[in-house]
Amino acid sequence: MEFRDLKKQYRVLKKEIDAGMQEVIENTNFISGKQVTELEEKLASYVGTKHCISCANGTDALTLALMAWDIGPGDAVFVPDFTFFSSGEVISFEGATPIFVDVREDTFNMDTVKLRKAIKKVVEEKKYTPKVIIAVDLFGQPAEYAEIRKIADEFQMYILEDGAQGFGGEINGRKACSFGDISTTSFFPAKPLGCYGDGGAVFTDNDEWAALIGSFRIHGKGSFKYDNVRIGMNSRLDTLQAAILLAKMKAFTDYEIDKVNDVAKKYTEELQEIVKTPVVLEGFLSSWAQYTIQLESKDKRNGLQAYLKEHGIPSMIYYPKPMHKQEAFAPYCGEEEELAVTTKLCERVLALPMHPYMEDEQIHQVTGLIKEYLKP
Ligand SMILES: *Cc1c(COP(=O)(O)O)cnc(C)c1O
């Protein structure tokens, strides 16, 4: 069994994907071809933002947002302690200070009570200026933006939505990647909407930031490519990747999001009595980048993972280490008692195979083995 079956997806979408790639190769417009603009327009219209600026990966997308806001030394940026490294890496990369915030045990997303507390503390200490909240849509479920917006307004901060895993998710019908002042996503192959290499995008309604990000991503270009008005980077989305994403988008919007929600529902029905299953809040829709269960101890978790592996079932530990325990962040360690939930989750979580092409039989095979292993 595959953890995320990209081979099967390719078999289903082969005709469209091959045709899209062939066209790019025949036209040899590998950089900034028309497919890139076409994709950006489609993505912006799907998400419901005025602008979409594609770029080389989801990490650059976050960096470009921080560059547009001129975030740097002396600024504090708040980010969940439980996320992929890159959500925090970009903060230090810009010379700002990451402040790690604990998450909710049921949704895995930022705990807004602890967020407010952490911001207040930084304000009182007067060492750094709170500037940005990076809210992560972990495992596919959007963060709690209504509450996060209140907090951002109260402290006059920006919201950067890291929707790398959240693309396709919703809150009350509004799409993920539209909740931040700037929002970003990643098209890494295993993300909800993935290309065949690295790719990313930035979303915003703000004209000025969109123009800045458009410039930063191509060497700080001015009126044309060889007119450079600021220091930027080289972070474009390849035309080939844009063509692949265009071919995949129809399936993604037509049925893939529904399909992963079916799979999640079946998992939860089968497993909710024996392990802690993931909670999706009222009015929220997850794009199920991961389906993550919690076991009662690290031993049980590791034991179950080994047992599944013995039976040919892959599973993953996202994430084995809290951000504040990463060696790279050693100078910015948070306070242990404030980050207790993340620490606990890192020992107990296990992500199960999840993708839109999973058959009922495969779901039952996974849940059957879990039941067998946990049988009293
Ligand atoms: C994957 C991921 C990123 C980074 O995306 P890349 O395209 O791999 O650079 C950032 N944040 C989160 C939460 C992610 O899962």
> Using CA atoms, how far apart are residues 12 and 252, in angstroms rounded to an integer?
12
Please state the atom number of ligand 1 nearest to the C-alpha of residue 165.
Answer: 15
Q: What pLDDT was estimated at residue 333?
A: 65
Instruction: State whether the beta carbon of 182 lies less than 6 angstroms from ligand 1.
Output: no
- Tokens of residue 343, six digits: 């620490």
- pTM for the model stands at 0.98
Contact present, 62 and 186 (Cβ < 8 Å) = no
Q: Please give the backbone phi and psi of residue 65, each rounded to the nearest 5 degrees, phi first.
A: -65, -45
Q: What pLDDT was estimated at residue 178?
A: 98
CA 64–ligand 1 middle distance (angstroms): 14
- Tokens of residue 371, six digits: 């039941």
Q: Whose CA is nearest to atom 5 of ligand 1?
A: 58
Which percentage of the chain shows pLDDT scores above 70? Answer: 99
Instruction: State whether the beta carbon of 110 lies less than 6 angstroms from ligand 1.
Output: no
> Using CA atoms, how far apart are residues 320 and 369, in angstroms rounded to an integer?
23
Bridge-partner residues for 132, per DSSP? 77, 158
Instruction: State whether the beta carbon of 235 lies less than 6 angstroms from ligand 1.
Output: no
Residue to probe by mutation, ligand 1, list 86, 195, 241, most atoms within 8 Å of CB: 86
Q: What pLDDT was estimated at residue 96?
A: 97
Q: What pLDDT was estimated at residue 225?
A: 82
Tally the C-alpha atoms within 13 A of residue 179's C-alpha that lie toward its C-beta: 32
> Using CA atoms, how far apart are residues 144 and 110, in angstroms rounded to an integer?
8
Instruction: State whether the beta carbon of 57 lies less than 6 angstroms from ligand 1.
Output: yes
- Tokens of residue 252, six digits: 């993604």
> Using CA atoms, how far apart are residues 335 and 324, in angstroms rounded to an integer?
9
Instruction: State whether the beta carbon of 165 lies less than 6 angstroms from ligand 1.
Output: yes
> Using CA atoms, how far apart are residues 12 and 295, in angstroms rounded to an integer?
35
Q: What Å distances lie between residue 333 and 274, 339, 361, CA to CA?
A: 35, 10, 45
Q: What Å distances lie between residue 247 and 115, 199, 348, CA to CA?
A: 39, 15, 37
Residue 92's CB is within 10 A of a number of other CB atoms, namely: 15
3-state SS string over the chain? CCCCCHHHHHHHHHHHHHHHHHHHHHHCCCECCHHHHHHHHHHHHHHCCCEEEEECCHHHHHHHHHHHCCCCCCEEEEEECCCCCHHHHHHHHCCCEEEEECECCCCCCECHHHHHHHHHHHHHHCCCEEEEEEEECHHHCCCCHHHHHHHHHHCCCEEEEECCCCCCCEECCEECCCCCCEEEEECCCCCCCCCCCCCEEEEECCHHHHHHHHHHCECCECCCCCCECCCCCECCCEHHHHHHHHHHHHHHHHHHHHHHHHHHHHHHHHHCCCCECCCCCCCEECCCCCEEEECCCHHHHHHHHHHHHHCCCCCECCCCCCHHHCHHHHHHCCCHHHHHHHHHHHHHEEEECCCCCCCHHHHHHHHHHHHHHHCC
Q: What pLDDT was estimated at residue 330?
A: 84
Instruction: State whether the beta carbon of 186 lies less than 6 angstroms from ligand 1.
Output: yes
CA 298–ligand 1 middle distance (angstroms): 26
Contact present, 314 and 1 (Cβ < 8 Å) = yes
Instruction: State whether the beta carbon of 84 lies less than 6 angstroms from ligand 1.
Output: yes
Model confidence over 292-325: pLDDT tens digits? 999 999 999 999 999 999 999 999 999 999 999 9
Instruction: State whether the beta carbon of 192 lies less than 6 angstroms from ligand 1.
Output: no
Q: What pLDDT was estimated at residue 203?
A: 98
From first to last of its 376 residues, the chain has per-residue pLDDT tens of 999 999 999 999 999 999 999 999 999 999 999 999 999 999 999 999 999 999 999 999 999 999 999 999 999 999 999 999 999 999 999 999 999 999 999 999 999 999 999 999 999 999 999 999 999 999 999 999 999 999 999 999 999 999 999 999 999 999 999 999 999 999 999 999 999 999 999 999 999 999 999 999 999 999 988 999 999 999 999 999 999 999 999 999 999 999 999 999 999 999 999 999 999 999 999 999 999 999 999 999 999 999 999 999 999 999 999 999 999 998 776 667 789 999 999 999 999 999 999 999 999 999 999 999 999 8
CA 85–ligand 1 middle distance (angstroms): 8
CA 164–ligand 1 middle distance (angstroms): 5
Q: Is the peptide bond before 319 cis (omega within 30 degrees of 0)?
A: yes
